[in-house]
Amino acid sequence: MSVNKLALIRYKTIDDCLRNRYRKWSLDDLIEKVADVLYDLEGITTGVSKRTIQSDIQVMRSDKLGYNAPIIVIDKKFYSYSEPDYSITNAPVNKADVEKMKEIVGVLKQFNGFSYFDEMSEMIARLENNLHRTTHHGRNYIQFENNQLLKGLQHINPLYQAILNKRSLLIEYKSFKAADSQQLICYPYLLKEYRNRWFLIVRAKKKHLLMTLALDRIIEFQELIKEPFIDDDKIDFDHYFNDLIGVTKNEHEKAQRVVLYIDNYNAPYVLTKPLHHSQQLLKEEEKGIIIRIDVVVNFELEREILGFGECMKVLAPKALAAKIARRLGKASEGYKAIE
């Protein structure tokens, strides 16, 4: 049984609602939410009928699409999943939909090579590989960087929709340094990936600070329909991260001139895969090269430098050189016991 686009939107919206444990969902609530999403995504103003949503719930409960969703009714009124971790997104894709996706990938491949499709090449290859693995048992012919244990990936689509539709959010978040989680009212602006980990860029209502939240540290979130969304027209998020490595940045920080020495063994790696798009070769010496990058000095930059160990040396700025020296000194102390 294949699924048309509007039905899939309805199923996914109901799924997002039932996974949200912050509130109770009556049938009227589900109808209202699905109608809002259909209007936002498809411009449909006629809403959705009670009968349609009831039928959708029955389809989700059944084996027709392979969902077998554990949907229960609490207090004869509120719908929920009996299994907190359940989602229809974890269900296997049926054969009819696989064939449709193959057709779509085939169309996308015809556009591969056009300049405006350059950034989609990896995505197309990833889709084709996943579809091949669905229908053919055997080894992979292409492998992408992936972390199967990474948490928070289920948040990507609903957060993207919240950004797209400019919806304020209530987010429960627990950083690695905090003993307890905290609840934040935020205005989401951007989703960003760095080294196979995803981050959400938001402005917090209370302190009005721009924050970078790791998706794997988000416990739960919900849209706040009655909370006005405050947009940020002062920051160009298309270029906000251009002057740094990673995602850690204060919005008022500026890039600094960072000069690095790299030995001859590692020089080809740095020259063929620059540390940053601002990288310039300043000098070639007998035992190595000197390069310059213009970036914000942050944790990710330090980690990049430390990753090269004794093969890279910070020449400027002096404060960064001193900090790297201290960190290498502490690392060295940890090995003195085995000397």
Q: Could you read off the pLDDT of 150-197 as tens digits, one per residue?
A: 788 888 888 988 998 899 999 999 988 888 899 999 999 999 999 888
Top mean-pLDDT range of 7-21, 300-314, 323-337: 300-314
Amino acid at 84: P
Closest alpha carbon to 291 in 323, 322, 269, 262 = 262
Q: Could you read off the pLDDT of 74-102 as tens digits, one per residue?
A: 999 999 999 988 888 876 666 666 676 77
Q: Are the beta carbons of 183 and 170 closer than 8 angstroms?
A: yes
Give the span between the Cα atoms of 328 and 339, in whole angstroms: 17
Residue ranges, comma separated, of all CATH 1.10.10 domains in the chain are 5-90
Closest alpha carbon to 42 in 5, 2, 89, 4 = 5
Q: Which residue has the higher pLDDT, 155 or 266?
A: 266
Across 34-43, 148-157, 241-250, 260-269, least confident range: 148-157
Fold of 153-223: SH3 type barrels. (2.30.30)
Closest alpha carbon to 22 in 200, 246, 172 = 172
Mean pLDDT confidence for 51-64: 92
Give the span between the Cα atoms of 296 and 8, in whole angstroms: 43
How high is the pLDDT of residue 1?
43
Class of domain 5-90: mainly alpha
CA atoms within 13 A on the CB side of 238: 1
**CA dihedral for 176, 179, 180, 184, sign (positive or negative):** negative
How high is the pLDDT of residue 149?
67
Residue ranges, comma separated, of all CATH 2.30.30 domains in the chain are 153-223
Give the span between the Cα atoms of 218 and 171, in whole angstroms: 7
The answer to whether the bond into 317 is cis (omega within 30° of 0) is: yes
Tell whether pTM > 0.75.
Answer: no
How high is the pLDDT of residue 258?
98
The secondary structure of residue 112, as a DSSP letter, is: B
Across 12-16, 114-118, 237-241, 275-279, least confident range: 114-118
Average pLDDT over the chain reads 87
Mean pLDDT confidence for 252-264: 95
How high is the pLDDT of residue 2?
46
Give the span between the Cα atoms of 268 and 291, in whole angstroms: 12
CA dihedral 171, 70, 64, 102 (to 10 degrees): 30
